[in-house]
């Protein structure tokens, strides 16, 4: 007997079969977009995962097909890459066991100042930041290992460290920042100056399209003035630098 969650074979074939390529009609009105906005949209669309004749693992879930061959076996880390990350992971584990008290953090609702300083001293705030900017220069795989270790010990510290260098200042600058911006900010965040992420507003959360905060350039174009309000900024109460999501003219 078929599972009630399994889609009919005809539907599966229709959803996953290869169809002749033809220009897709855009569902987004780009007529009022600036050249830069259109280029950004084109880049985002081009970055989407392409579908082959089986579709992606996630898309197949919606039609009752579980193709685990597309996500297993889990990628193995090379011996060289693991060796590069092991010394930091050992330092991090030792520091967590000896100096971070998860129960006390839960009771007080605060991460002690000495933990901020201690994590900065071992390089935990600049795991993926290249060494030329003051970070450890470790790989994404080793960063993931560190995140697992942090989360296994204390979720509060894990959120602090991961948000700081993923949705905080470091990662956006590594991907899109100018060399001048990298030289100015990456040594600061790698050294322990906390970065925050400001997206949520009263009527906007995970859907950035509903944001109302605006970034208005001053006449000479050298700076922006932010008009609006943000709330629930991750790491906000401890941050020295912030990533602020805003609309521009």
Torsion of CA 13, 46, 166, 184, to 10 degrees: 180
Res 167: pLDDT: 92
Res 21: pLDDT: 47
Which helix (H) or strand (E) is 197 found in, with range?
strand 195-198
Q: Is the peptide bond before 73 cis (omega within 30 degrees of 0)?
A: yes
Token code pair at residue 229:
């309000």
Res 8: pLDDT: 54
Q: What is the 3-state secondary structure (H, E, C) of 103-138?
A: HHHHHHCCCCHHHHHHHHHCCCCCCCCCHHHCCCCC
Res 9: pLDDT: 58
Write down the pTM of the prediction. 0.72
Which residues are CB-neighbours of 206 under 8 A, at least 6 positions away?
Answer: 199
Mean pLDDT in order along the chain per 10 residues (249 residues) = 49 51 57 78 67 70 83 88 97 98 96 97 97 97 96 96 94 93 96 95 83 92 93 92 92
Res 27: pLDDT: 58
Res 71: pLDDT: 83
Res 196: pLDDT: 95
| Bridge partner list, 94 | none
Res 24: pLDDT: 47
What domains does the chain contain, in order, with CATH numbers? 1-15+50-74 (no CATH), 79-193 (1.10.540.10), 198-244 (no CATH)
Res 11: pLDDT: 55
Q: What number of CA atoms fall less than 13 Å from residue 97's CA on the CB side?
A: 7
State the angle between helix axes of 79-99 and 113-121 in degrees (0 to 180), rounded to the nearest 10. 150
């Amino acid at each position: 007997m078929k599972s009630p969650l399994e889609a009919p074979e005809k539907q599966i074939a229709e959803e996953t079969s290869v169809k002749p390529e033809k220009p897709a009609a855009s569902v987004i009105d780009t007529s009022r977009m600036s050249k830069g906005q259109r280029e950004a949209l084109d880049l985002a669309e081009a970055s989407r995962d392409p579908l082959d004749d089986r579709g992606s693992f996630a898309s197949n879930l919606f039609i009752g097909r579980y193709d685990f061959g597309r996500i297993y076996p889990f990628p193995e880390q090379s011996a060289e890459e693991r060796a590069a990350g092991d010394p930091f992971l050992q330092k991090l584990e030792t520091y967590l066991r000896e100096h971070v008290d998860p129960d006390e953090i839960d009771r007080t609702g605060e991460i002690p100042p000495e933990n901020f300083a201690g994590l900065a001293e071992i390089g935990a705030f600049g795991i993926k930041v290249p060494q030329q900017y003051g970070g450890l220069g470790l790989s994404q795989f080793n960063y993931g290992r560190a995140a697992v270790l942090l989360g296994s010990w204390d979720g509060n510290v894990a959120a602090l460290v991961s948000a700081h260098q993923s949705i905080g200042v470091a990662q956006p600058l590594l991907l899109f920042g100018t060399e001048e911006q990298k030289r100015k900010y990456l040594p600061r965040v790698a050294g322990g100056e906390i970065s925050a992420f400001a997206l949520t507003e009263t009527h906007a959360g995970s859907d950035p399209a509903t944001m109302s905060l605006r970034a208005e350039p001053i006449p000479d174009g050298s700076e922006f003035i932010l008009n609006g309000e943000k709330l629930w900024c991750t790491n906000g109460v401890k941050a020295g630098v912030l990533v602020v999501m805003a609309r521009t003219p």
